[in-house]
Amino acid sequence: MYSMGLSIHSLGTVALLGVILLNVAMLKMAGSLQKYKRLNSIVLLPLTATIIGLAVFTGVVMMAAKHLDFTIPNLAMIAISIVLVVLEVKRAKSLRYMNPQKARALDAYKLFASKILYVEFALALVISAWMWLI
């Protein structure tokens, strides 16, 4: 059962990497701020939140199975999970309050969101690689 839980957690992290790449692709293809805001609010944000929630939930279950053994890798995963959630909130909040009437608003958001998504991808990839190689 423990190994199945680890497998599900690993699949959740792979799904997280895929969703981040999907967010990057949709951001690059966005041509209109209003259309992107709609796509983000209906599809991308709920999908991203669900996959982050999946990874966090399966991680919590695995921590409980290990009797809350706080090791360095577990603390690193907790810290990165918090950072991922905070970055997603910042990205979603900045898009929500962005004025579509301003010129080049989408270009400014693309630059900001790209940086956040690349940081999220790098963090998820580094922690995943670290855990898969242990």
Read off the pLDDT of residues 2-34 as tens digits, 9 standing for 90 and up.
888 889 999 999 999 999 999 999 999 999 999
pLDDT digits (tens, 9 = 90+) for 42-93: 999 999 999 999 999 999 998 888 888 888 989 999 999 999 999 999 999 9
Is pLDDT at 134 greater than 80 in this prediction? no
User: Residue 22 burial by CB count (10 A; 0-12/13-18/19+): exposed, middle or buried?
Assistant: middle
pLDDT tens column, 95-108: 999 888 888 899 99
Provide CB contacts within 8 A for 6, sequence distance 6+.
62
| DSSP per position, 28-82 | HH---HHHHHHHIIIIIHHHHHHHHHHHHHHHHHHHHHTTS---HHHHHHHHHHH
E strand or H helix at 88, and its extent? helix 72-96
What SS3 state is found at 104?
coil
**Cα R_g (the chain), whole angstroms:** 16
